[in-house]
């Protein structure tokens, strides 16, 4: 398998998700939260997070597709949310914020639907590659400028189901 090294073990990931879930539960205490996941990368993180949050949560998903080839940020919504988010506290749950272009697009799109509030939670944050600023409210890990897989993140649709986060070296495929 083209795994170069493990960045965060399954135990580290699970422990950190619990810490962030506690932060989120404290911040939204007494309220209901709608978790909005971006298919497919955020599914594993979102379900682990949802189980560890101890306030009432609803979940909904959207999917995006890119139309600019390899140009980052050229995205559109391919599958929209099932339900409106008007007057709800929304937490956008991402697998990774990299250039920030996808997250900014989603943030602007969702903000236009009059939620009561909108915040961003990401499993991984690679700030060294940021092109546009994104207000990340909750994040599990900052990572270096290397391509990673696991915990929902894929390489050619593979490796999403790994419980750990690993740096990938395609030459070892
Ligand atoms: P953006 O550059 O912030 O717009 O990130 C766009 C998307 O690229 C993320 O949601 C991921 O699906 C994907 N992506 C970025 N970096 C990685 C990586 O290291 N591994 C796997 N997918 C990645
Ligand atoms: Mg991907």
Q: What is the pTM of this model?
A: 0.95
Return the sign of the alpha-carbon dihedral for residues 13, 51, 36, 115: negative
Phi/psi-derived region of residue 146, left when phi > 0, alpha when psi is between -120 and 50, beta in every other case: beta
What does pLDDT average to over the chain? 95
Distances (CA, A) of 58 to 44, 50, 54, 85, 173: 16, 9, 12, 11, 39
Is residue 45 pLDDT above 80, yes or no?
yes
Q: How confident is the model at residue 173 (pLDDT cuts 50, 70, 90)?
A: low
Atom 6, ligand 1: which residue's CA is nearest? 102
If you measure from the C-alpha of residue 29 to the centroid of ligand 1, how many angstroms do you get, rounded to a whole number? Answer: 31
Please tell me the predicted confidence (pLDDT) of residue 79.
Answer: 98
Atom 13, ligand 1: which residue's CA is nearest? 96
> Taking the CA of residue 126 as centre, how many other CA atoms within 13 Å lie in the half-sphere pointing to its CB?
16
Number of Cβ within a 10 Å radius of residue 44: 21
- The finding on whether 2 has its CB within 6 A of some atom of ligand 1 is no
Is residue 3 pLDDT above 70, yes or no?
yes
Active-site residue, 82 included: no
More reliable by pLDDT, 139 or 71:
139
Distance between CA atoms of 111 and 102, rounded to whole angstroms? Answer: 14
Strand, coil or helix: 51? helix
Q: pLDDT digit string (tens) for 72-92?
A: 678 899 999 999 999 999 999
Please tell me the predicted confidence (pLDDT) of residue 33.
Answer: 98
Which of ligand 1's atoms lies nearest the C-alpha of 101?
Answer: 4
Is residue 70 pLDDT above 80, yes or no?
no
- The finding on whether 37 has its CB within 6 A of some atom of ligand 1 is no
- Which of these is catalytic: 89, 95, 98, 125? 98
Mean pLDDT value across residues 128-136: 97
Mutate to test the pocket of ligand 1, among 96, 108, 125 (most ligand atoms within 8 A of CB): 96
- The finding on whether 42 has its CB within 6 A of some atom of ligand 1 is no
> CA torsion, points 14, 19, 24, 30, in degrees to nearest 10?
110
- The finding on whether 105 has its CB within 6 A of some atom of ligand 1 is no
Q: pLDDT digit string (tens) for 94-107?
A: 999 999 999 999 99
If you measure from the C-alpha of residue 124 to the centroid of ligand 2, how many angstroms do you get, rounded to a whole number? Answer: 13
């Amino acid at each position: 398998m083209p795994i170069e090294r493990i960045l965060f073990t399954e135990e580290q990931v699970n422990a950190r998700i619990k810490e962030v879930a506690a932060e989120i539960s404290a911040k939204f205490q007494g309220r209901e939260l709608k978790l909005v996941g971006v298919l497919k990368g955020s599914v594993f993180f979102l379900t682990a997070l949802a189980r560890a949050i101890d306030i009432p949560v609803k979940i909904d998903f959207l999917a995006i597709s890119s139309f600019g080839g390899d140009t980052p940020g050229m995205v559109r919504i391919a599958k929209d949310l099932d339900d409106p988010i008007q007057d709800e506290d929304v937490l956008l749950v991402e697998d990774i914020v990299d250039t920030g272009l996808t997250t900014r697009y989603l943030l602007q799109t969702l903000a236009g639907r009059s939620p009561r509030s909108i915040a961003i939670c990401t499993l991984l944050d690679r700030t060294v590659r940021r092109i546009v600023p994104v207000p990340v409210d909750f994040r599990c890990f900052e990572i270096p400028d290397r391509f990673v897989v696991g915990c929902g993140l894929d390489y050619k649709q593979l490796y999403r189901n790994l419980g750990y986060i690993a740096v990938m070296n395609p030459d070892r495929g």
